[in-house]
Amino acid sequence: MVMPNLRDNLLTQNAIIFGDESADETAQRVFAVAGLMGTEEQWDGLVKKWIIATGGKEFHAAEWETEYSNDPDRDKHKTNCRIYAELTQLVASSGLHGWGVGIDLAAYRDFFPHITQDYAYHKCFMEMADRLVGKAAQVGFSDLKFTFDHRRGEGNTGILYEWMTSQPDWGESGIFFGNEISFSSRKNPRIQIADLVARETMKGLDNIIGPKRRPMRKSLIALATTDNRLEFDYLVREYFEDMRKKLEQCIKNGEGEYFDWLQKNKMPDNINSRHRFLIWQDAEQLRHTQ
């Protein structure tokens, strides 16, 4: 008997992707975006276990961890922490693939003080999306269906997507075109699952660069030790220092890719255009190396 090849089976299925974002309590230190990808069967199996673990309660990662932290009844906080750890293990053992990307906002502002922080969100979101598309190709999924949280508020993935797709250079990115895009709310357990991974991505970086440095969280370790199914990356000071150097080189050649890009997208030569060009260029390079 010839056993079916897993990759061949995946090629006949869509990749169902759910994404969310997270920031520190001040929204000034760390921003992170995470996306999880799997088959309908994998998601359904995880959601059933998730609902049992949460008792059907709507899960918000930050609130779940802090809701009873100052309650006189310490058992309430311990129970939430135990359930949070259980949920993390469910995600780690689900078979889902994913990427979490975090960005050091303070470092970004240091090197790009005259550029709005929206571009930092843009950069983080594109890095996560590019990595997921590359991972889908490696795993063998054929079509991608993206669903993002669409809360109101600065920086959320739904607003990010709308902002990015309105930019004239977006058509060159090729990340989402040809794939299905939709939005959902936190009432959807799949968004709640993405919220947990986004928070772990954010906390992982915040514990490194935040005001109080802490060791890696056990929950993040559980997610990261999944045979490279779930991966994490942080864009920190060294990254933006190098990006700043590239920015300064943008117009030194006089002619070249940057000016071709400006002309094609009918954009003026200014600091924002140069910065957007670097984001676009990094995305192009990432896709070509996957």
Q: Is 190 helix (H, G, I), strand (E, B) or coil?
A: helix
Please tell me the predicted confidence (pLDDT) of residue 278.
Answer: 79
Please tell me the predicted confidence (pLDDT) of residue 159.
Answer: 63
CB 120 within 8 A of CB 103: yes
pLDDT mean for each 10 residues of the chain (290 residues): 41 79 92 95 97 95 87 88 96 96 96 86 86 87 82 57 59 55 84 96 95 92 92 95 82 68 80 77 66
Longest CA pairwise span in the chain (Å): 67
Alpha-carbon distance of 3 to 236, in angstroms, equals: 45
- For the chain, report the end-to-end CA distance as a whole number of angstroms: 34
What would the CATH number be for the domain defined by 6-236?
Answer: 3.30.420.10
Phi, psi torsion values for 254, nearest 5 degrees: 75, -50
Phi, psi torsion values for 42, nearest 5 degrees: -65, -45
Question: In the beta sheet, which residues pair with residue 21?
Answer: 33
Alpha-carbon distance of 281 to 290, in angstroms, equals: 15
List, in order, residues 6 or more apart from 162 with CB less than 8 Å away: none
Alpha-carbon distance of 231 to 176, in angstroms, equals: 20
Please tell me the predicted confidence (pLDDT) of residue 6.
Answer: 44
Structure tokens at 255: 């002619």
Please tell me the predicted confidence (pLDDT) of residue 290.
Answer: 55
